[in-house]
Amino acid sequence: MGGNITAEALDRDERRIGVYICHCGLNIADTVDVEAVANYAGTLNSVAVARDYRFMCSDPGQDLIKNDIKELNLNRVVVASCSPRMHEPTFRKACEAASLNPYLFEMANIREDCSWVHDDREVATQKAKALVRAAVARVYYNDPLEIKEIPFNPDTLVVGGGIAGIQAALEIADSEHKVYLVERDPSIGGHMIQLDKTFPTLDCSQCILTPKMAAVGAHPYIELLSYSEVEEVSGFVGAFKVKVRKKARYVDEDKCTGCGLCQEKCPWTADSEYDVGLSKRKAIYTPFAQAIPNVPVIDRDSCAYFLKGKCRACEKFCETGAIDFEQVDQFIELEVGAIILATGYDAFDPSTISQYGYGIYDNVITGLQFERLSAATGPTGGEIRLKDGRKPESVAIIHCVGSRDQNYHEYCSRVCCMYGLKVAHIVKDKTNADVYEMYIDMRCFGEGYEEFYKRVSEEGVNFIRGKVAKVTDKAVSEEEEGKLVVICEDTLLGSIIRVPVDMVVLCIALEARSDAEEVARKFIISRRADGFFLERHVKLDPVATPSDGVLIAGCCQGPKDIPDTVVQASAAAARVLAMISKGRVTLEASVSHVNEDLCIGCGRCEELCEFHAPKVGIYEKPMPVSRVNEALCKGCGACAVACPTGAISIKHFKPEQILAMVDALAET
């Protein structure tokens, strides 16, 4: 790449620098006298040519540079225009196309740093000259750097087997690339497998999800590691190393036929996670009938053998001898090129809002519990029933429980208005009870959503605009006797109302996973103030993270509905496939470099580096010195600052380059 010139080969006296001042239409030229800046640049040391042009980033603009490099034998280029974030890659490529090493290019930002923030043309022009002067002084010392590439490992890790992880895994695997899908629970499916119907089309959640789950289970290119968690991650994009803990199931996956006899015979129970506490499951269990894989696990916390040393009923009845109480956790090492995080969300626990009475009154339930009540696979076989088995005659649905409230979560959870409407529809459909929706604003923004709102309105649901203050069982009139009374202001009437109902459904918020912090640390990504994983750019790059090769999809990046989750998962998969198809990763060239003659092997750099790039060891010299793994180094410079002997410098940010800029700026 970029010719074979080395620093030594270049005679310093023969610098021939080309300087190009961009007008950026009027963005720059309006405030900065670009012609004057170009004339000034022409007078600077070693500048062979200086020009101004309307749009340097346009093809003719780039051609100017390319032609000058060839015809005037330029060996350094400076463009003064916008932020390097915008067009540094463009101009570097232009240099490369003319066989100039891209690191011999330098950019001065006279738009964001100058014309956009100043009004006074005189002063702005002065400043632009200074910025150009500094860039010219720096580029004088720039070295050509070698750009290295390594092969990209085409295997992918997907973490989390909800709809996001399932979708991403299938899309990658369908193109015949290997995917490891790590799911923490005994089965994949995530929250979607708990839902009854899905808004706005009301298709049965299980009917649309289970075929995909089965496809994952049977896919020749997917290795499903269920009941497993990622322990450690090292490496970098294209070559990650991942250690996975496969938790002991106490059931041999190879021998188990999934017949279910063990669960039938097991005498011990615990609250069912799948039914959100509305039913019991056994100590040995598969969470639900269509679980993938269809292999049970023994929950040590409720198994009598583990608690008291006696029972082993499951073992006695298992015909294939699959029960194995001696099983231990296993560790598996994986090597992958890219990672997709799809760890989803936690449902908000409404018991902290004590005035809503969740956990106090039997018939105050969450939206997720309602899904289980309403699902044919749930504890009531799909009948909407009160705790005592009666059919409710009236139901209140409380919106924004834990959302849009600075005491809990300031953000809107985006799906609750719609699932609230879904609850209303199902209650009407199955019981014909009176239904009240207490909402603040109805947010029905997706395809078919407003239409669904209209449909539910037509079904006779009562909409009350107001945030509920309290749910109580203290009756003040006869009709309130034996009911739950929902108290709020109907803000459209401007009066306080008390609504007696049999059942209250809380539209709980979606919140970041309780272990999101730990997961973020493991994968070296960041979180937003609200706890969800931070995307690289909220508008232009919502699937990437600041860690190259680590992508995010679904609710781990913020609350969203299934359609949006699937879109994001597909986008993440496409990103991975693009990387696989390129097959190589370009490594950062401006990395840290140790001068081994100065290094005393103290190891401070090693302690400090977030990316584990420096390693102190005995290499060619008899004394220990630090060496930097260039593939891991991000060029952040932390080590260079800490190095006590000044042995470490960052390529492309050498002291002489920086000092030359400072000197140039100090000149007047």
Ligand X SMILES: Cc1cc2nc3c(=O)[nH]c(=O)nc-3n(C[C@H](O)[C@H](O)[C@H](O)COP(=O)(O)OP(=O)(O)OC[C@H]3O[C@@H](n4cnc5c(N)ncnc54)[C@H](O)[C@@H]3O)c2cc1C
Q: Does residue 150 sit in helix, strand or coil? A: strand
Identity of residue 84? P
* Mode of pairing for the β-strands spanning 394-401 and 503-508: parallel
Gyration radius from the chain CA atoms:
32
Tell me how far apart the alpha carbons of residues 96 and 1 are, in angstroms, rounded to a whole number.
8
549 interacts with ligand X by CB under 6 A: no
604 interacts with another protein by CB under 8 A: no
Tell me how far apart the alpha carbons of residues 414 and 443 are, in angstroms, rounded to a whole number.
8
Contact characters 564-603, another protein, x per CB under 8 A: ----------------------------------------
**Shortest distance, CB of residue 344 to ligand X, whole angstroms?**
2
**Shortest distance, CB of residue 18 to ligand X, whole angstroms?**
51
477 interacts with another protein by CB under 8 A: no
Kindly state the DSSP code that residue 392 receives in the 8-state scheme: P
Cα 569 → chain centroid = 10
561 interacts with, out of ligand X, another protein, none, CB within 5 to 8 A per kind: ligand X
Q: Which stretch binds another protein (CB under 8 A): 34-42, 150-158, 239-247, 398-406?
A: 398-406
Cα 268 → chain centroid = 39
467 interacts with another protein by CB under 8 A: yes
**Shortest distance, CB of residue 485 to another protein, whole angstroms?**
12
555 interacts with, out of ligand X, another protein, none, CB within 5 to 8 A per kind: ligand X
Contacts of 584 (CB under 8 A, 6+ apart): 149, 150, 151, 152, 238
What is the total count of residues that contact another protein (CB under 8 A)? 23
488 interacts with, out of another protein, ligand X, none, CB within 5 to 8 A per kind: another protein
343 interacts with ligand X by CB under 6 A: yes
- Strand ranges of the sheet holding 17-22, from the earlier edge strand across to the other edge: 47-53, 17-22, 76-81, 105-109
496 interacts with another protein by CB under 8 A: yes
420 interacts with ligand X by CB under 6 A: no
Q: Which stretch binds ligand X (CB under 6 A): 55-63, 337-345, 374-382, 637-645?
A: 337-345
146 interacts with, out of another protein, ligand X, none, CB within 5 to 8 A per kind: none
- Contacting residue, 88, 299, 561, 588, with ligand X by CB under 6 A: 561
Contacts of 49 (CB under 8 A, 6+ apart): 18, 19, 42, 68, 72, 74
437 interacts with ligand X by CB under 6 A: no
**Shortest distance, CB of residue 166 to ligand X, whole angstroms?**
7
Q: Which residue has the tokens 């092969």?
A: 151
Q: Write out the binding residues for ligand X, residues 170-209 only, by CB under 6 A.
A: 182-185, 190-192, 195, 198-199
**Shortest distance, CB of residue 334 to ligand X, whole angstroms?**
14
Contacts of 397 (CB under 8 A, 6+ apart): 420, 423, 424, 435, 436, 437, 438, 504, 505, 507
**Which residue, 96 or 349, is less far from another protein as judged by CB?**
349
**Shortest distance, CB of residue 440 to another protein, whole angstroms?**
5
Contact 61, 152 (CB under 8 A): no
Candidates 532, 566, 498; CA nearest to 168 is 566
Q: Does residue 232 sit in helix, strand or coil? A: strand
Exposure string for 237-258, b = 16+ CB within 10 A, e = fewer: bbbbebebbbbbbbbeeeebee
470 interacts with, out of ligand X, another protein, none, CB within 5 to 8 A per kind: another protein
Q: Which stretch binds ligand X (CB under 6 A): 56-64, 336-344, 543-551, 654-662?
A: 336-344
Tell me how far apart the alpha carbons of residues 365 and 397 are, in angstroms, rounded to a whole number.
10
**Shortest distance, CB of residue 138 to another protein, whole angstroms?**
48
Q: Write out the binding residues for another protein, residues 430-449 only, by CB under 8 A.
A: 440-441
| Range list of H helices, 147-223 | 163-174, 205-218
Contact characters 132-171, ligand X, x per CB under 6 A: ---------------------------xxxxxxx------
Contact characters 355-394, ligand X, x per CB under 6 A: ------------xx--x-----------------------
494 interacts with another protein by CB under 8 A: yes
Q: Write out the binding residues for ligand X, residues 205-244 only, by CB under 6 A.
A: 229
Contacts of 28 (CB under 8 A, 6+ apart): 22, 34, 81, 110, 111, 114, 115, 128
Cα 390 → chain centroid = 44
491 interacts with another protein by CB under 8 A: yes
404 interacts with, out of another protein, ligand X, none, CB within 5 to 8 A per kind: another protein
Q: Write out the binding residues for ligand X, residues 563-622 only, by CB under 6 A.
A: 563, 565
469 interacts with another protein by CB under 8 A: yes
* Beta strands, E only, 402-549: 434-439, 462-465, 470-472, 484-490, 495-501, 503-508, 510-512
Q: Write out the binding residues for another protein, residues 40-59 only, by CB under 8 A.
A: none
Instruction: Report the interface residues with another protein, using CB under 8 A.
Output: 354-355, 400, 404-407, 440-441, 465-470, 487-491, 494-496
